[in-house]
Amino acid sequence: MKINGTPYRSVWVDEKDGWSIHIFDQTRLPFALDILTLVTPEEVAHAICTMQVRGAPLIGAVAAYGLALALRSSANDTTLEQTAAMLAATRPTAINLRWAIERMLTRLRPLAPAERAAAAYAEAGLICDEDAAQNEAIGRHGLELLRALAAGGRRVNILTHCNAGWIATVDWGTALAPIYMAHDEGLDVHVWVDETRPRNQGAALTAWELGSHGVPHTVIADNAGGHLMQHGQVDIVIVGTDRVTRSGDVANKIGTYLKALAARDNDVPFWVALPSTTIDWTVSDGIREIPIEERAASEVTHVGGRDDAGNIVRVQITPDGSRAANPAFDVTPARLVTGLITEKGCCPATQAGLLSLFPEFGQKEQGI
């Protein structure tokens, strides 16, 4: 996508040195557009853990480059396996991270050490190109849903949660891809942007993305979505996801489940956008089998922002001594999901629906 007319992806290899990795520091957006240069796998791991880089497909792609960085200095089996394990341990919920690392290991293990660094950069580049293409396809399939709602030129009000935009992927985004395409096509779309406590990815990142692209949007408190649905102000909910089970259960940012309940209670279609790299074919029961990341309590007790003097600050919002819990994701059961928007098309949130689009994964039930 473009920032002030300049095309960007969310991760890229330095054009001059050909090996260092660049990302946007997403903890500084929307108030500062800081580009970080990563030169070691440890810096990649830190960027993922601290959410300087985040978004299920993107952390997989950046972790792939983290392996490539490691192999520049040492390409033996020990370095390969230990670096892979370190990167895989950064965040537990998004399956894309494990998928990307497993793909890199499959590609690199058979190679002679001398061949591994170049092959790692090439494979990470393929992962990026594929993610961008998959998300563009998700946009095209999701666009059909928005065209149907926009029939007769009516405004389409979309609610989204967290950030599943281009900055959460290599490019295009998942939940936001159809919205960009609908807006660019001239459809009258408006987005209710859940702030998405506690990290405020919606207020900080989705609002920044949509505003940069000129898409009409309104930031709302997380708790306002149900009210808007009750009053007919939401035509569709589209969210991203960090892991979908083979039975269609959806892990996504904390609060997604509550939106799905409100949507069901108000007959609002609830769609989930994802590339097939987000499907975990080895699990079926999302509530019991998907690990939910527990993040620092300080993300709940403190909030970041910009003060009146223009300084980016963090302030405490709870009394000293109050405890806080911070589960970062929840699982929406498939029964609450209207359908899934993938790069191969839309399908019901069921195993049969997924296999209708991805028959090659039938044997995956035994695990990846």
Ligand X SMILES: CSC[C@H]1O[C@H](OP(=O)(O)O)[C@H](O)[C@@H]1O
Q: Which residues are annotated as a binding site for substrate?
A: 54-56, 91, 201, 252-253
Report helix, strand or coil for 335.
helix
Question: Residue 108 or 280: which CB sits closer to ligand X?
Answer: 280
Q: What span, in angstroms and rounded, lies between the C-alpha atoms of 129 and 268?
A: 34
* 171 lies in the binding site for ligand X (CB under 6 A): no
Tell me the closest approach of the beta carbon of residue 72 to ligand X, in angstroms. 27
Q: What span, in angstroms and rounded, lies between the C-alpha atoms of 24 and 28?
A: 9
Tell me the closest approach of the beta carbon of residue 168 to ligand X, in angstroms. 4
Tell me which of 242, 249, 280, 330 is the catalytic residue.
Answer: 242
* 57 lies in the binding site for ligand X (CB under 6 A): yes
Based on the residue annotation, tell me whether 242 is a catalytic residue of this protein.
yes
Question: Residue 326 or 350: which CB sits closer to ligand X?
Answer: 326
Tell me the closest approach of the beta carbon of residue 177 to ligand X, in angstroms. 9
- With beta carbons less than 8 A apart as the criterion, state whether 20 and 68 touch: no
Q: How many residues bind ligand X (CB under 6 A)?
A: 17
Question: Residue 163 or 351: which CB sits closer to ligand X?
Answer: 163
Tell me the closest approach of the beta carbon of residue 312 to ligand X, in angstroms. 19
Using the contact rule CB under 6 A, the part of the chain among 73-81, 164-172, 259-267, 347-355 near ligand X is 164-172
Report helix, strand or coil for 346.
strand
The distance of Cα 163 from the centroid of its chain, to the nearest Å, equals: 7
Report helix, strand or coil for 98.
helix
The encoded tokens of residue 23 equal: 């990302």
Which residue in the block uniquely carries the two structure tokens 């979505």?
225
Contacts of 328 (CB under 8 A, 6+ apart): 93, 253, 254, 292, 293, 294, 295
Q: Which of 108, 328, 340, 354 binds ligand X (CB under 6 A)?
A: 328
Residue 207 to residues 161, 263, 364, Cα–Cα distance (Å): 11, 22, 37
* 54 lies in the binding site for ligand X (CB under 6 A): yes
Q: What span, in angstroms and rounded, lies between the C-alpha atoms of 224 and 203?
A: 14
Question: Residue 241 or 351: which CB sits closer to ligand X?
Answer: 241
Helix (H) or strand (E) holding 290: none
Q: What span, in angstroms and rounded, lies between the C-alpha atoms of 56 and 67?
A: 17
Question: Residue 121 or 192: which CB sits closer to ligand X?
Answer: 192
* 63 lies in the binding site for ligand X (CB under 6 A): no
* 100 lies in the binding site for ligand X (CB under 6 A): no
* 341 lies in the binding site for ligand X (CB under 6 A): no
Q: Is the dihedral of CA 233, 235, 239, 243 positive or negative?
A: positive
Residue 67 to residues 11, 126, 199, Cα–Cα distance (Å): 14, 14, 28
232-291: which residues touch ligand X (CB under 6 A)? 239-242, 252-253
Tell me the closest approach of the beta carbon of residue 294 to ligand X, in angstroms. 12
Question: Residue 57 or 225: which CB sits closer to ligand X?
Answer: 57
Residue 145 to residues 165, 169, 333, Cα–Cα distance (Å): 18, 22, 22
Q: What span, in angstroms and rounded, lies between the C-alpha atoms of 12 and 65?
A: 9
* 164 lies in the binding site for ligand X (CB under 6 A): yes
Tell me the closest approach of the beta carbon of residue 58 to ligand X, in angstroms. 7
Q: Which of 10, 27, 134, 174 binds ligand X (CB under 6 A)?
A: 174
- Which of the residues are catalytic? 242
Binding site for ligand X (CB under 6 A): 54-57, 162, 164, 168-169, 174, 201, 239-242, 252-253, 328
